[in-house]
Structures are given as structure tokens and as C-alpha cells.
Structure 1
Amino acid sequence: MSPEQVTFGRTTLPDRQVEVLRRAVRLEWLTIGFLAVTVFLVFLVLGNSQAMKAAWIEDLLSFIPPLAFLIAIRVNRKSPTLQHPYGYHRSVGVGHLVAAVALTTMGTYLIVDSAIGLFSGEHPTIGTIELFGASIWLGWLMIGVMALTAVPPVLLGRAKIRLARELHNKVLYADADMNKADWMTAVGSMVGVTGIGLGIWWLDAAAALFIASSILRDGLKNLRAAIVDLMDARATTFDDAEPHPLAAEVDAYLASLPWVSAAGSRARDEGHVFHIEAYVVPTSDDELTLDRLEAARAGCVDLDWKVQDIVIVPVRELPEVVPVTPAADGSR
């Protein structure tokens, strides 16, 4: 596939983003393959440990973000239609919301389930199995499996974060954030299994509570971010840490034009790209021409590949809800 054919709706991706997208897709398929092996291995050694049960369920939930990402990038390549004039970019936000709801729901369930086990005083046991003619405590296999599966997700998560920044993809970032924290789940489950082996029965339920709390925290964090984006809040960076600087760059560019006395814009996050409504106050009615508006729009699009869906509206004064960026010479 040539770079010219890779688009998000009508937004043609630059060569750099095309390569980043391909790498992200490969990483997500690699993640799915790794998770399939992990889920199978953990299921084989599950036993009666609540911590292992919570870790296994988290591994199952970990399928949701990569699948949501792969589905979303296929859907949002569709061109806008009369029914969907803004395109299908919101598929990223929908995927983000679905993943967040699943995490929140299962995290809540596991907290309740683990708390019941803890306060009811359940004493889980771990037996032995015959392996290669020898009797082996199953707990050693549990610890071994969790140790083997702890490191790869962390490495995958770190790689995905860099790609999420360049693609401005919050589903990919949510997946990366979960992967980075997977080592805590592995350590927690190993602590729980060790507690059972040492006769500290409550340590298993406590570890399960820790894992469940981690799942719920991820779910609530992503649920808030997904809802805020779908409600057309001010566009933020891929990690929701701060307002995205691109809107200010658009305002500064428009305000620098000689025929503009002030500029301001509203930017909302559509998934990968922004929909921007930019308002400009011309220095005089005579300065306002169609050619200048078209040139201004083209200049904004050239600032960043995410700014292809932008409208420029000439007004006598800026709306109250947009920040004012005066012209470069200070004229108003």
C-alpha cells in the first residue's frame, strides 16, 4: 500500500504517520498473539488462587484495547457521507469508551468478589501435580508462568506510547498504559500464591484486591477521558495531560496574517484529527476576500496533518468562548 492511499477519512497521512500506523498495527497483533499464549498458560495453572483468577481475567480484558484499536482504524478510514458528514473519526472515541466500560465493570466485580473472599475467611489451597514423573507444588508453576509473562507487556507498552503520541490515538495510549502496569499484576499474583504456600491465607485475597483496584483505576481513568472527548471538550494531548497546543498554533498563525486583527478557535478531538472552527476579525471589510480566506485555510492545514477539517469564519468580534489572539503588531 502506497502512502498516498493511507487515509483517515479524507485526511491523507504523511509518510511518517503511515509508517507509525503500520508499526502500531504490528504491535497490536503481536500483543494479541502474546495475550492468547498468556491466557492459555495462566488458565492451565489457575488453581484456587483468587489473585491468579484476577490476573487471568485482566489478561482476558487486555484483548479489548488492541481489538478496539484495530477495528477503529479500519472504520475511520471511510470517507464522510451525507449521513456522517464529519466522517467516522469518532470510532476511536467509541472504542475508547467500550474498553473503559469493560475495565470499570470487571474491576468493580473483582473488587466485590475479592472482598467477599477476604472477609468471609476463605482459605484457598494449592495442590500438587505430577509432571515428568515428579510431584510438583502447583504454586511453583503459577509463579513461573507469571514471571515469564511479566516483562513483555511492559516492553510493548513503552513502544506503543511513542506511537500513540505520533498518531494522537488515545485507544493505543490506553492499551500502552495498561501494558506498562501489567508487571504489578504479575507481582501481585506471585505474592498471593506465595502467601498461600506460607499459610498466610489472607494474602491471596489481598493481592486479588490489589489487582482488581488496578483494573478499576484504569477503567475509571479511561472512562472519564472517553466521555470528556465524546462531549466535545477542548482538545487535549494524547495522554489527556494538557490542552493540545495545536489550537494555539492555528490562532497564532491566523493572527499573524496582515489582514487579521484578532483570531480565536474552538478545537474538538475527533479521534485522530481535530475539527476546528476558527474565527477571524478582519482589519476592515475591504481586506476580506475569498482568496485570502482560502489561503488562510491552506496555511492552517499545512501546520499539521491533524488540521484538515477546519472552517474559517470572519466575524466582527470573537465569540466569548474562544481565546483572543491579537494580531502580531498588536492592532485590533
Structure 2
Amino acid sequence: MNGSSRAGAERYRFGHTELPEKPAKALRRAIRLEWIDLVIRVVTVVAMILVAGNSQAMKAAWIEDALSFLPPIAFLIAVRIARRRPTEAHPYGFHRSVGVAHLVAATTLLGMGGYLLIDSALGLLTAEHPPIGLIEIFGTTVWLGWLMIPTVLLTAIPPMILGRMKLKLAPVLHNKVLYADADMNKADWMTALTTAVGVFGIGIGLWWADSAAAILISFSIISDGWKNLRSAVADLMDRRATTFDAKEPHPLIDEVDELLTGIDWVEDAECRIRDEGHVFHIEAFVVPRNGRMPTLDQLAEAREACVDLDWKVQDMVIVPVEKLPEEFLPQLRSA
């Protein structure tokens, strides 16, 4: 392996796990997309501030745009940290950085959504009429709202495209921060459309449309924040591994159990898998057939077979036991 190849292999690994070609390409693409997203978000926030005026919906929209810097930044930082090799102080590696980044982004998202809901609801209850001023362009006086609407509609296009692209990469990398960011992109373009409707409502005399649109935006933010917060906390509390969208148990759980029980010297086997971020830590309990202890070679072969199932199998231990420990596998024994 030449120097450039070694550098590439070192760059695209998580701890001891070197990424195969497909996830390595996905990671390179995801990193590029996040940098592009950050640049676009800077332009978007500046444009929104320039035309926001006193519109509540516009205020909610640009605050959400500013808030949406967190997921891509969290992703870039977490990926960089997760690539570090395990140390004496961190023998399991730094994969939990992904979970921490997910938690930070989700908490901020939920908190800001709550703030916007309260702020917008108070404006609606107090019948606050948002004053959207006038601006002079080339000697012609124009209502600022007519500039707001095309601006927010234009800002809806990049997140719509980027979100779809990230959503395709999230399952390949098993990256929940990337999935949350794609979810945030979806919220961004939905927010932009809702904001345009709210400002248009003011233009035709519906003063309450602005605050109503902002409240709808806040519900979207709260929903995304709560969903991601629940997932992040559950993962940090060592919930059994789930798919990247946290909708169902990861299929690797059944695959490992089936592989181990299919080995000729294994009578029964169950595993428990926890999600470390991008990769999994697996503890497999196996009951040897006829009570005969397996050899070291047999254990090594079984472990290698499990590791070969998926690149995400970062740590794998196989423990021969007299019988399956029900106290360690309660969710499986009660099923």
C-alpha cells in the first residue's frame, strides 16, 4: 500500500474500523454536502435578516435557519472525533461523540421551538399587528412583504435538494445526526413555504396569519426536536441498536443470533447490541452443545464470521455460558 493509500485508509475509518468502499464514498459525500450546506445557510440567514422587518413568521424562519447550523456542525465535529483510535482513558473509542452531537442538536432544537411557540402565541393573544414597512427601490416605494415572499421561497430550494441527498446517505453510514440534519432540511423548506403564506396573509389584510404561520413553524421545530431528543437519550442509555431512523430494532441483531445458532458446536445463542454511534458493540452469549467448551480457534472463527456480517460490528465478544443469562437478556426472554 503506498503512502496516499495509507493516508486515505486512515482518514476514512472509525476507531479501529476501516470503512469499506461504499460507506467511505458516502462519508466523503456527506462531508462535502455539510460544508456546502453551511455556506448556503450563511447566505440564507443574511438574506432573511435583511428582509425580515417585524414579521413574526420571518423572525421564526430566520431563527430556525440560524439554529439549523447546529446539525451540520455537530456532524462534522462528531465524525472527526469518532475517527480517533481508542486510548487508555477511552478504551471503547470515541464513537459516542455522534450520540453527544445528536443530543446537543436535539436539545437546542426543542428549546428554540418552545421559545418560538410561546413568543408567537403571545403575539396572537395580544392581537399584535406586525408592521411590515416600505422600502424604496430605484425611486419606487415597495411593500417589504413583496420582497420577503420571493426571498423565503428561494431559500426553500437548497434544503429541499440537500435534505434528499443526505437522507440517502444516512442509512449507509448509520448516522443519526445526518438523518436529523436531513429532517432539519425538510423542516427548513416547509418553514419557508409556511412563512411565505403568512406574509402574503398580512398583505391581503389577515394580520393574524403572520403569528399563526409562526406557530405552525414552532410545532414543526418542537416535533423534530422531541423526536430526536428521545432517540438521542435512548441511545446514550444503551437502548438496543435500532435502524438509523430509530423506527425499529436493527436487523443485525437477528442476523448475529441466526449465524451463531447455526454453528455446529452451538446449542443456543442470544446477543445484545448497543449503538456506539456509527458502530455497534456486541456481547453474544453462546451455550456450547453437550456442555463441551469450544476451542480458541472455534471462538475466533465464530467472531470473525459475525464481524464479516457488517462493517459496523466494531467490538464483538463471545461468552460461552452454561445457560443463557436471562438477567442480561430480559427483553429477549420476555418476548
Same fold (TM over 0.5): yes
CA distance in 2, matches of 1:174, 1:254: 34
CA distance in 2, matches of 1:308, 1:197: 57
Listed one character per residue, the Cα deviations across residues 103-140 of structure 1 (whole Å, up to 9, x for unaligned) are 01111111110011000110112121111232211101
Q: Is the 8 A contact 2:291 2:322 kept in 1?
A: no
CA distance in 1, matches of 2:87, 2:293: 35
Matching of residue 213 in structure 1 with residue 212 in structure 2: no
The aligned residue for residue 46 of structure 2 is 40
The aligned residue for residue 58 of structure 2 is 52
The aligned residue for residue 328 of structure 1 is none
Matching of residue 166 in structure 1 with residue 172 in structure 2: yes
Runs of 4+, deviation exceeding 4 Å: none
Residue pairs, 1:243-322, within 5 angstroms: 243-286=249-292, 288-320=294-326, 321-322=328-329
RMSD: 1.1
Q: Is the 8 A contact 1:168 1:272 kept in 2?
A: yes
Shifted more, 219-228 versus 10-19: the winner is 10-19
Residue pairs, 1:127-142, within 5 angstroms: 127-142=133-148
CA distance in 2, matches of 1:240, 1:285: 38
Compute the displacement of 1:97 (Å): 0.2
Matching of residue 4 in structure 1 with residue 33 in structure 2: no
Q: Is the 8 A contact 2:56 2:120 kept in 1?
A: yes
Compute the displacement of 1:212 (Å): 1.0
Compute the displacement of 1:10 (Å): 0.9
Compute the displacement of 1:144 (Å): 0.8
Give the alignment's TM-score, normalised by structure 2.
0.94
Q: Is the 8 A contact 1:96 1:226 kept in 2?
A: yes
Q: Is the 8 A contact 1:93 1:226 kept in 2?
A: yes
Matching of residue 102 in structure 1 with residue 108 in structure 2: yes
Compute the displacement of 1:287 (Å): 5.0
Unaligned runs of 5+ in 1: 325-332
Give the alignment's TM-score, normalised by structure 1.
0.95
Partner letter of residue 4 of structure 1? A
Compute the displacement of 1:170 (Å): 0.1
CA distance in 2, matches of 1:137, 1:92: 46
Partner letter of residue 9 of structure 2? E
Compute the displacement of 1:286 (Å): 3.5
Compute the displacement of 1:315 (Å): 0.4
Q: Is the 8 A contact 1:154 1:181 kept in 2?
A: no
Unaligned runs of 5+ in 2: none
The aligned residue for residue 69 of structure 1 is 75
CA distance in 2, matches of 1:25, 1:109: 31
Q: Is the 8 A contact 1:155 1:180 kept in 2?
A: no
Q: Is the 8 A contact 2:98 2:278 kept in 1?
A: yes
Listed one character per residue, the Cα deviations across residues 277-329 of structure 1 (whole Å, up to 9, x for unaligned) are 011111034451111001111111111001131100000111214347xxxxx
